[in-house]
Structures are given as structure tokens and as C-alpha cells.
Amino acid sequence: MPKRYENLDNVSTHKTWADFRRWQQERKQKRKDLSYVVPHVSPAQYERLQKPNGRPQLCWIGHSTFIVQMNDITIVTDPVWAKWMGTAKRLSAPGVPLDKMPPVDVVLISHGHYDHLHFGSLRRLPGDPHMFVPEGLGRLFRRRGYRHVTELSWWETASFCGLSLTFVPAQHWTRRTLWDTNTSHWGGWVIEADAAPTIYFAGDSGYFRGFRDIGERFSIDYALLPIGAYEPEWFMGPQHTTPEEAVQAFLDCRARLFVPMHYGTFRLADDTPKEALDRLWAEWRRRELDDARLLCLKLGEVIDTTQALATVSFTRAPSQTTEKQQT
């Protein structure tokens, strides 16, 4: 029997077919405005990725796909350029077309769901990247002929050309077939390098105490956190954060800057990209947080992560009780 993975505190994300049917019935009664499309930048922006010249850079492709460049190493998180996800058509084109991508050195996979692990996109990435994947997922890659694959468990760290890559917990689940539910793990990644900002890529997660644990172990500069696919909350809650919970997660992990993700690309739940952003900003201002610390990137936008940090005044406070903990 294959090993089955669990969340911290044995939190279950299991839903029955009755739950799913209830959601689908509810969905038929909703009328949503999907006219808002996340804006793109001009190609002149993402052409900077071809020659980073040592600059630490960050670029959002869409959904949970980012390009991270440190020490002239190019990393891609959860590469998905697919035009369709099941019956859901992509809402916005990728920020950087595949044929304009720089050679990729490292791929970080958060878990095996199709909107985070798309082999069609992986095969088309330029370069010969090393795949860093959750425990239990390596065999799927090796069966498909990938040569450079490293599996990690929660809190394990691997090194690559001066980078430190740590696989950290998330609250989620995974399945690619009817028979492989939770036979591989899920999580996020913390990317560290000398003289470069530390980036926490959260993958896909519901709200959980692990955000505090991660903040206590690392000095995080950028938190890339999911804000979409939360409605209806009674169905999505254990596995996806609401925008308000994402703000709490940001405070828990004590990061300096928040970059939202996991919205605006595929309609995986009933919320819309505009609703997610509106709720995010409303909660941000309710908490009286500095607007400069919330970076809602355009698709294809490239930022110099060191320069962006220099514009923000922030002193990392010691671990403290947060609003979510008090409730």
C-alpha cells in the first residue's frame, strides 16, 4: 500500500460527492461578472529576464507560476502555461510566452494537482532544469523520463548552485487519478541565497498554524500567497485561504512584502479575480497596513527584488499573537 500523507493536526480536506453536488447546485444560482482581466505589461519588461546580470528578479506568469532569478539562476514555480484546465478556459494569457522564456535551471513543484503540475508545460520549458518535488511525487517524474529529480519532505533543505531550497508545510491535499489521493505530499518553498531577498512561495493552502511556524524559522522578505478559489467557503475553506486569511498568513509569517497569486487565471471556484482583489485591499486597509507592502503584480511584470525592498520601511517584530489566533 502506498503511503498516504496528512496535514498538520490531521486536518481533513475531504469532501463527499453530496458536498460537491450541493456546490454545483449553488453555483447555478450565481451570476458573476468575469469581465475584469489581470493586466499585462509590454514585452520590453519581461525581456529583462533574458539577461539578469546578477540582479535578483521576480516575475508573475499567472496563477501560481513565477520566475525567480537569484545569482543568475532561473527558477520557475509550478509551471502552467495550459490554455485549459479541464473545462475551465484560461482567463488571461501567460505573462511571458513560452517561446520568450529564458533557459530554466530549477523547477519547484508544490503538489500534484493539474493546475500546479502540468507536464505539457514542463516539456516545453527551455533548458534542462532540475526538478524539486514533494516526497512521493518523484516516481511520476522518473516514469516520464526526467533525469534530475530531488524529492523533499517538510522542512528538508536542498542546495543548488549556491541557493538553499527548503520544502515547508501547507494545508492542502492532492490527486491526479481516482486511485492516488494523497500518495504524494504538498507544501511551499522557501528560496534563500546570499545577498538576495528570501522568497516564500506558499503553493496552495488553507489557513493553518504552519504560517507562524514558517515565519519563526525564516526571515522572509517576499511572501507569495494565494488569494483565490475560496468560494463557497464552506466547501473550499480547509484547502484555500480567503483574501482575509491570506493577509493573516502574511502577518503570521512576518514577511516584509506580500505578492498575491492563485487568482485571475483559471476559474476553479465561484469567486472572481475582481472580488478576490477587492476583498484583499479592503482587509489590508482595515488592518491599516502600508500599501507599499502589498505588490499586486501585472502579468509579465519584472521587479528587482532588492530595489523593491529598499522602498519599504519595516522592522520585523518578534512572534506575537495574531487576530486569527485570538478567535
Residue boundaries of the structural domains of the chain: 45-312
Q: Which residues contact 128 (CB under 8 A, 6 or more apart)?
A: 148
Q: All 3 cell numbers of residue 64?
A: 501560481
pLDDT score, position 44:
83
Instruction: Of 35-44, 70-79, 243-252, give the lowest mean pLDDT range.
Output: 35-44
- Is the CB of residue 317 less than 8 Å from the CB of residue 279? no
pLDDT score, position 259:
98
- Is the CB of residue 241 less than 8 Å from the CB of residue 252? no
The stretch 297-302 carries a mean pLDDT of: 96
Distance (Å, rounded) from C-alpha 262 to C-alpha 143? 28
Beta-bridge mates of residue 74: 69
Among the listed residues 274, 271, 273, 276, the one whose alpha carbon sits nearest the alpha carbon of residue 23: 271
The stretch 160-189 carries a mean pLDDT of: 96
Stated pTM of the model: 0.94
Q: How sure is the predictor about 88, in pLDDT bands with cuts at 50, 70 and 90? A: confident
- Is the CB of residue 289 less than 8 Å from the CB of residue 246? no
pLDDT score, position 314:
73
Instruction: Of 3-7, 217-221, 308-312, give the lowest mean pLDDT range.
Output: 308-312
Burial of 39 (0-12, 13-18, 19+ CB in 10 A): middle
Distance (Å, rounded) from C-alpha 282 to C-alpha 251? 16
Q: How sure is the predictor about 327, in pLDDT bands with cuts at 50, 70 and 90? A: very low
Mean pLDDT taken over the chain: 94
Top-level class of domain 45-312: alpha beta
The stretch 150-173 carries a mean pLDDT of: 98
Q: How sure is the predictor about 324, in pLDDT bands with cuts at 50, 70 and 90? A: low
